[in-house]
Every structure is written in C-alpha cells, then in structure tokens.
Structure 1
C-alpha cells in the first residue's frame, strides 16, 4: 500500500511539474516567435532601402533596434535551453525512481508467485482452511487467501502501469533532447547573424563619421520638426485644458445662481480658487471615471498598430559628436499603410496637420494619447472612439519607403514614457 501511494505521489508530482514546464516553455516560445517576427519586419524595411541611398537616422535606429531584438532573442533561446536542461534532469531522475520502484514491485511479485505456486492446489488451500482451530480463524484464513489473490492481480497491474510510465518518460526525454539540439542550432545562427549586424553597424558608424556634416544637418532638421510638432501638441492640449476649465467655471456659476434664486437671503458663496489643470480636466464625473479606467489599465493597453517594432524609445539620444535628439514617445516601424488604432476609449480633441502628415490627439480624462506621422485620418474632432478603433493609416516615407508611427502619452501638458503602459512591455 505504501508503494502504491509513493508511485501515485510521484506521478502526481510529474504531472504538476510537466504542466508548469509546458506553460513556461509555451510562454518562452511565444516570446521567441514574436521577436522573430519583429526582426523579420525590420529586415524587410532595411532590404527595401536601396544601397545607393545616403544613410539616414531612420536606418541607424532600425539597425540598432534589430541588434537589440536579436540580443533579446538569444537570451530567450538561452532561457528555453536552460528550461529544457532542467526538464531533462527531472525526467532522468523520474525514470530512475520509477525503475527502482519497478524493481521492488517485481521482487515482491516474484515472492508472491512462489508462495502461490507452493500453495496452488485446491487440496492445500482446503487443508489450510480446515486446519483452523475454530470458525472465526477459518473465515479469516479464507479472506486472507482472497485478499492475497486480489493483491497479486493489483501488483501485476501496478507493474504494467509503471512500465508504461517509464516508456512515456523515456519518450519525453528523447523529445527534450531533440528540442534542445534544435534550439542550440537556432541560437548559433542568431549569434552569427548578430556578429554580422554588429559589423554592419561598425561600417555604418564609420560612414557616418565621414558624412558627419550632412548627418548633423539631418539631425538638426529633425530636431526642428520635432520641436515644432511638440509645441503644436502642447498648444492643442493647453486649449483643451482651458476649455475644460471654462466649462467647469460656467457650471459653478450656474449652480450658484440656482442656489441664490432658491434662497435670496442666503450669503453669497466665496469665489472658488482657480482650478488646476488636473482639476479642470477631471471636473466632470465622466472624465474622472475615464481617467481612473485608463490608469487601471496600465500595462494592458493595446499597441497603436497591430504589429511593429520599436526603433526609437522614449528619452534623449545622442548621435555623432554632441548632437542630441529628444523623443517624447515611441517610434514604431510597421507595415506600409498599416491601420492606426486608439489604445483606449476617449474623445478626439485635435487633428494637427504639418507637411502633409496628420497627428491625432485623443483625450482620456486627464491623459492624452498622440498618434503622429499619419497619412489618412478616419475620425473627426470631438468624436468618441473606442479601444482598438481604427483612426487612420500610417504614412510612408517617400524617400526610404518605410512606415513609422510615433506614439506619445501625455499627462496634462507633460509627456510621459508610454512603454510601461502598453501590453507586453
């Protein structure tokens, strides 16, 4: 009975461990496949750029992003290999434990068979029963013979099931080892590709050094464009705040007038202090609820495009000698003409057009999401939108043929890093 329990516990432990391992393995595999898709997307855009074109900031960022993605993929593969090695060790130990149990079961079964053989005749069984001192002892001896027979059948079944479990674990072990070989091969290919890309990056940086003057001109031009667009975004958000403040103040005056009308002798209320930007934006129950829901979904917001890869993150970047570019959001490379989606429910507050490209601003209480570099817009100002609703399409760079959406998140009039707000970051 003790052996039966130990085998059951061992098999239960194997089942729980296998379930946990399968879940972790599936997550890592999913992550590796996502990284592969991002790398391939950047490969396509880099291949589509003609070799005779001058190097640009977009190309450099795409190359850097691809190198970072490949490093992440190699780390993911390494985690998968470590997980498989751990599972191989567990399966090996399980097989050893099952084989030990099987040996014990077979030894016990052999003893039972020998005993059964010596007492196999019906005459011996009857003599064993009739030799009893009384009826109770005879009954007990009869029950013992029945239980002995049942126990022998049960032990034979346990031996058969244990043998099957061993065969199953051996098959899993072989599969684990095969998967490990495939992953190690994939990892080696990624390392070779990474070395190649680092060589390309080194050559790119050398070429940029030779063309530093033109490169700085391009960066300065981008800085000016980004600054102009940032001012336009901030002005649009400022107008929205002032409009919200004006409506809130009008509502307060209306309520004060109604109160005075109902009670003419009451003392007039003291004038309220000017509302802060946040108070103005959250002055209605609807706006306060929307902001709370938006905050509650931090880390779960969908991406503004169905698929893409971040080629430039949030913050300040230095290129060349002392040339700095400030990024208020994420630049996401995606497929040409890809649909742009709202990341949450909200209201379109502004549509800004600069140099034949559109920027859409959506308000979510006291938060604003900004979608830049759009070719077409399918929403209008003051229109309510829902999460994942298409609001337009990404523009295609006429020179390079690439499609980059720039996505920003603002809290009031201050930009914040959107990375931790989007799902999967």
Structure 2
C-alpha cells in the first residue's frame, strides 16, 4: 500500500506540474515575443535619433517601448510567482518523499533483523510442522512466502522512492536557478525602464519648445478624426436608408400580396363589398429599428452573427504592428483627444487587410490619405491613413484580403494605421475584437 501511495503521489505531482508547465510555457513564449518587439523598437529608435526632425516619432516609439517593457516586467513577475509556487510544491514533495523513504528504510531494517534471527531452514520447517492441522500448516507456509515477497517489494519501494526523490531534488535546483535568472532579468528590465522614462521626459521637453507645431499637429489630428466621424455617420445613414428602403418595399409587396389573397377569399365567400374592401386593404408596415433593418436579410443577419461570434479572434488589420494610442480619451500638451479607435504603428509600406468578410461601404480621401469603411451586417470597420487602396465601393471583401497600403508621415517618418469598429448603436473598443498578439 505504501508503494501504491508513492506512485499515486508521483502521478498527481506530474499532472499538477504538467498544467503548471503549460502556463509557464505560455509566459515564456510571451516574454520572448516582447523581447523581440522591444529589440525591433530599439533599432527603429536608433534610426530616428540620427534625424533631428523625427522627435515626434521618437516620443511615440518611447511610449510604445515603455508600454511593452512594463508588460514584459509583469510577465516576468508572473513567471517568478509561478516558479516560487513550484519551488514550494517541490520542497513539500521532497520532504514528504524523504519522510516516506526514512520510514521504508526503518521497516526494511526491522524485517532484515527478523529474517536474520529466523534464517535457519530448520526453524522455518519447525514453524510449519508445529501447526495443529493441515490448514494451519498451509497458511503458515503461505505466510513465509508472502513475507519474502513483501521484503522484495519493500526493497523495490525504497529504490523507487530514492529515484523519485533524486528527480525532485534536481528539479528543485533547476527551478531555483531559473528563478534567480529571472530575478536578475527583472532588475535589468526595471533599470532599462527607468532610462526609457528619462528619455521620454527629455524628448517631451524638447517637444515643448515646439509647442506651436505640436498643437498645430494635434488640431490637424482632431480635424481629421472629425472628418472620419462624419464619413462613418454618412455611411451609416446611407446603408440604413438603403436597407430600410429595400425592407419596406418588400414588406409593402408582401402586405399587398396577402391583402389580395384575403380579398379573393372574401369574394369566394360572397361577403359584402364593404367587407371585401376591408380585406383588400394592406396592413400597415411595422417600422423596424436601425439595427433590425441592417440585419433584415438572411445574409446580413448571418454576417452580423458571424462577426459578433468572432469577437476577440479577428485578425489584425496589419500583419505586424503595435498599438501606440489606445481607445478613449487622452491628453497631449493639454489638448483633449477622444480616440474612437486604435492607432497601430507598422513597418513602412505594410499591406492593410480586412479583418472580416463584408462589403466596401465607402472609400474616401481624407487629408491626402484614404479611409475605407467595410460593412459586416450591422457592424462596420474603418481603416484610415492608407496611401493607396485596391478596393472600391460595393465590392465584396474576404477576411485578410488586402484593401490598400499604409501611409508614412513624411514629417515624422512614422507609419500608422487608424482602425475602428462600430455598430449601428455605438462606437466600441477595437482591441477587444482583435485576437491577442
């Protein structure tokens, strides 16, 4: 039974640490991804530092670096907490196995002493023949055999427990070394984060000397976003009006068809002219909400449901990118900005792609770059700051289909794509709809 308990303990421990290992592997994978992204930002920052005109881009890169560095530190902290928990579990397991090993050795030693005192074959035969009947003699013989087998199993249990104990001690040492390395990396990342924050302050101070230019840029950004809102509103009104026109035309035709059937039935039943007239009058059309109108056809309803069903799993509008400005209100140099989407920094000339199946609702030039709006049933996605486009209004679009190329700001050298997700009722945070990077 003790051997069975040891095996069960080993199986449960392996299962526990297997689940832990999956979580640990995910944390390591994300830490490596963050390290690669930070290296990419570091190279890009070094390039911009050679160009004195790129201070705005430097500030954005530093913001992105700080954000990624903080995420990496949090990831390392999670790894450290996980390793600490593993160390505690391994330490408890080692103590338990050591106690079991000591007990097994103690019991085995007692058996050896007993066997030594009863090692004579004569004593064993006397023990068997001293039985009062045949049944008792048989039981005593089986007892001697079982005692020998138990002694062998006890020896195997000791060897198995020693092996498990050795494995756990080695695993404990490796985990402690890994935790020590992570603590060193954590300290290094904190020091680097402090330097990056100092650099951000320095660049911000430099930019404050160009306050007029910065405010001019912010006002231009606000004007651009106002145009985007107007285009979205225009597209929504147009799509709703067209969908409502089609839905109401179909509803009127259906009402007239049903009224004609009712009138014919009334004539067949020889009803009065007044009753026939009442039956021939189409029933009034029930006015639907904007959301219901946009999902009134089976195709639109399916597209809306599929889009909603993929929330949190949609592909990014660019293959490679980092969010440099999130959704919601923020302030720059005292100017209030309300970002209706997210701004994604991406390499120059990056293809911009649709995040889901749909139909191009509008393509419009805004301040020298293009905005593409795609309808997905009652949902809409917007892609702004495209240097060129490869789609047109009314065109059917597939998921990940290229719709254009990201534009690069000649003043800052920065390439960004503005991405929005809206439904007929509200503006939503696009990040919650995209798949985790």
Pick the TM interval, shorter chain.
Answer: over 0.9
Q: Which residue of 1 aligns with 2:290?
A: 277
Q: Deviation of residue 255 (structure 1)? A: 1.6
Aligned match of 2:321 in 291, 308, 321?
308
* 2:128–2:140 CA contact under 8 A, matched in 1: yes
Q: Deviation of residue 200 (structure 1)? A: 0.7
Residues 223-242 of structure 1: pairs in structure 2 closer than 5 A: 223-242=222-241
Within 2, Cα distance between the matches of 1:125 and 1:337? 92
Within 1, Cα distance between the matches of 2:368 and 2:47? 23
Q: Deviation of residue 296 (structure 1)? A: 2.5
Residues 14-29 of structure 1: pairs in structure 2 closer than 5 A: 14-29=13-28
TM-score normalised over the length of structure 1: 0.92
> Do structure 1's residue 120 and structure 2's residue 119 form an aligned pair?
yes
Within 2, Cα distance between the matches of 1:131 and 1:296? 82
Aligned match of 2:418 in 406, 412, 423?
406
Q: Which residue of 2 aligns with 1:193?
A: 192
Q: Which residue of 1 aligns with 2:407?
A: 395
Within 1, Cα distance between the matches of 2:242 and 2:221? 31
Over 3 Å counting, the alpha-carbon distance change for 1:150 and 1:361 in structure 2 is same
Q: Which moved more, 1:80-89 or 1:396-405?
A: 396-405
Q: Which residue of 1 aligns with 2:168?
A: 169
Q: Deviation of residue 30 (structure 1)? A: 2.4
Over 3 Å counting, the alpha-carbon distance change for 1:121 and 1:295 in structure 2 is same
Q: Which moved more, 1:156-165 or 1:339-348?
A: 339-348
Aligned match of 1:287 in 292, 300, 304?
300
The C-alpha deviation readout for 1:342-388, integer Å capped at 9, x for no partner, is 22222222222335532222211111011122234344433333333
* 1:48–1:401 CA contact under 8 A, matched in 2: no
Residue 216 of structure 2: SS of its match in structure 1?
Answer: helix
Q: Which residue of 2 aligns with 1:62?
A: 61
* 1:42–1:309 CA contact under 8 A, matched in 2: no
Over 3 Å counting, the alpha-carbon distance change for 1:157 and 1:390 in structure 2 is farther
Within 1, Cα distance between the matches of 2:387 and 2:51? 26
Q: Deviation of residue 269 (structure 1)? A: 2.7
In structure 2, the gaps of 5 or more residues are 264-275
Q: Deviation of residue 141 (structure 1)? A: 0.7
Within 2, Cα distance between the matches of 1:102 and 1:407? 63
In structure 1, the gaps of 5 or more residues are none
Residues 89-128 of structure 1: pairs in structure 2 closer than 5 A: 89-128=88-127
Residues 217-256 of structure 1: pairs in structure 2 closer than 5 A: 217-256=216-255
Q: Deviation of residue 119 (structure 1)? A: 2.6
Q: Deviation of residue 292 (structure 1)? A: 2.0
The C-alpha deviation readout for 1:37-87, integer Å capped at 9, x for no partner, is 333333333333244433555543332232122112112111111211121
* 1:369–1:410 CA contact under 8 A, matched in 2: yes
- Please identify the structure whose Cα radius of gyration is greater: 2
The C-alpha deviation readout for 1:144-173, integer Å capped at 9, x for no partner, is 111111111111111111111011111111
Within 2, Cα distance between the matches of 1:354 and 1:410? 19
Residues 335-414 of structure 1: pairs in structure 2 closer than 5 A: 335-412=347-424, 414=426
Over 3 Å counting, the alpha-carbon distance change for 1:259 and 1:14 in structure 2 is same
Residue 173 of structure 2: SS of its match in structure 1?
Answer: helix
* 2:224–2:367 CA contact under 8 A, matched in 1: no
Within 1, Cα distance between the matches of 2:128 and 2:396? 91
* 1:70–1:194 CA contact under 8 A, matched in 2: yes
Within 2, Cα distance between the matches of 1:112 and 1:332? 74
Within 2, Cα distance between the matches of 1:83 and 1:272? 62
Equivalent pairs, count: 423
TM-score normalised over the length of structure 2: 0.90
Q: Deviation of residue 176 (structure 1)? A: 0.5
Within 2, Cα distance between the matches of 1:5 and 1:247? 74
Residue 54 of structure 1: SS of its match in structure 2?
Answer: helix
Within 2, Cα distance between the matches of 1:84 and 1:373? 45
Residue 340 of structure 1: SS of its match in structure 2?
Answer: strand
Q: Which residue of 2 aligns with 1:83?
A: 82
Q: Deviation of residue 261 (structure 1)? A: 3.9
Q: Which residue of 1 aligns with 2:272?
A: none
Over 3 Å counting, the alpha-carbon distance change for 1:201 and 1:125 in structure 2 is same
